[in-house]
Amino acid sequence: MRFTLLDRVTAIDPGKSITAIKTLTLSEEYLADHFPRFPVMPGVLMLEAMTQAAAWTIRLGEDFAHSIVVLRSAKNVKYGDFVEPGKVLTVTAEVLSQDETMTKVKATGTVSGRTSLTARLVLERYNLVDRMAHGDALDARVRSEMRKLWAVLHPASRGGGAARPVVYGAAVGGAATPVMPVGVAYRQANTVPVAGQ
């Protein structure tokens, strides 16, 4: 995952379901082209947000056993309302079934209680060591990065109760210290190579 389209995980039942949010801001670069006079979140990015949310419940359900969780297919994708700047996309994903490498998920995206997107997703899980020489080192690195990102997306998972200011998983002292936006922090810290790229 080279970028994240989720700002916060608000509820999770590992391996079963997840609820996460994405707040769309006008500063997101792709809005200049999509569309200049009517900026809205592209449908493919809405689908990616749903995929990322589903991947988190899978990762947590198996305690990060697989380093890679990718979208294999999206079926029955239906779009409803637009997601405009200033709006919050709430994504829910529920695991329907799972075998050794594939997970089937029912996912929904809503804005202000109205359905913006629904889909049935199939996600594949694997480790790089099974597909390439020296993949074990990459697997360890990916798992480490995913655990750090999880601590940003779900501060309660760090323990200690109340959320603290975080810069890519590290606590920051003092209330006046600004919190780096999740996407920026992750892009700056993420240098994990992706198979096939």
**Cα–Cα dist 13/127, whole Å:** 23
The catalytic residue among 34, 66, 134, 154 is 34
Question: Using an 8 Å Cβ cutoff, are 53 and 20 in contact?
Answer: yes
Instruction: Report the length, in residues, of the chain.
Output: 197
DSSP, residue by residue, 85-151: TT-EEEEEEEEEEE-SSEEEEEEEEEETTEEEEEEEEEEEEE-GGGTSTTHHHHHHHHHHHHHHHHH
Measured N-to-C along each axis, helices 182-189 and 135-153 cross at an angle, to the nearest 10 degrees, of 160
**Cα–Cα dist 165/180, whole Å:** 9
Write out the H or E segment, with its range, that includes residue 38: none
Please, is 167 exposed, middle or buried when counting C-beta atoms within 10 Å of its C-beta (0-12, 13-18, 19+)?
middle
Write out the H or E segment, with its range, that includes residue 45: helix 43-61
Active site residue 34: yes
Where in the sequence numbering do the catalytic residues fall? 34
